[in-house]
Homo-oligomer: A and B are copies of this chain.
Amino acid sequence: MNANNPAGGAALRIGELAAATGVSTSALRFYEKHGLLGKAARAGNGYRQYPPEAVERVGLIRLAQRLGFSLEQVHSILGRPGEPLDHEQILAGLQARLGEIEQMQATLAAQHSGLTCMLGKLQAQWQLSSCLPLARLLDGETAAEPPTAQRKASAR
């Protein structure tokens, strides 16, 4: 059918939006269910009718994912779909993510230097146990509990 919507553009069915964005239909429904995408209008048959802007919205979601945001974070900084977008909120979200990244970079840098140091020691003398004190080095960088997984460095 491809009816026209109030804005005048051609409405997209979920499959078309999926094709246009490279996101699966199930993922799109998932986004909608979790408030990332906004509830699409429905045609008489119950099919979702996406306005053309939805393509951009999905693009933003994917961009945010590539920048390492979790969907929950995307949700909180992008806000309700269709709403004006809160500039303050977005800036704050971006900066918060920058902070996370820097934190992870610090962790990785500590691990990197720890490993490098360890390699040096091992090449000098073969005592793995002599590397145990490295633990302290890492503790200094991060914190002091049992090794809990921190956060992913999501890719692409």
Cross-chain contact of A115 among B87, B94, B118 (Cβ < 8 A): B94
In the complex, the chain B residue whose C-beta lies closest to that of A56 is B129
**Residue A45 at the chain B interface, CB threshold 8 Å:** no
Given A67-B111, A94-B115, is A142 in contact with B122 using a C-beta cutoff of 8 Å?
A: no
**Residue A90 at the chain B interface, CB threshold 8 Å:** yes
Tally of this chain's copies: 2
Distance, CA A145 to CA B22, complexed state (A): 9
B145 A154 Cβ-Cβ under 8 A: no
**Residue A75 at the chain B interface, CB threshold 8 Å:** no
**Residue A119 at the chain B interface, CB threshold 8 Å:** yes
> Size of chain A's interface in residues, with CB distance under 8 A?
59
Cross-chain contact of A90 among B56, B91, B122, B151 (Cβ < 8 A): B122
Distance, CA A102 to CA B101, complexed state (A): 14
B128 A60 Cβ-Cβ under 8 A: yes
- Cross-chain pairs A/B with CB under 8 angstroms, 8 sampled: A56-B129, A67-B111, A67-B114, A95-B119, A102-B112, A108-B108, A139-B156, A151-B152
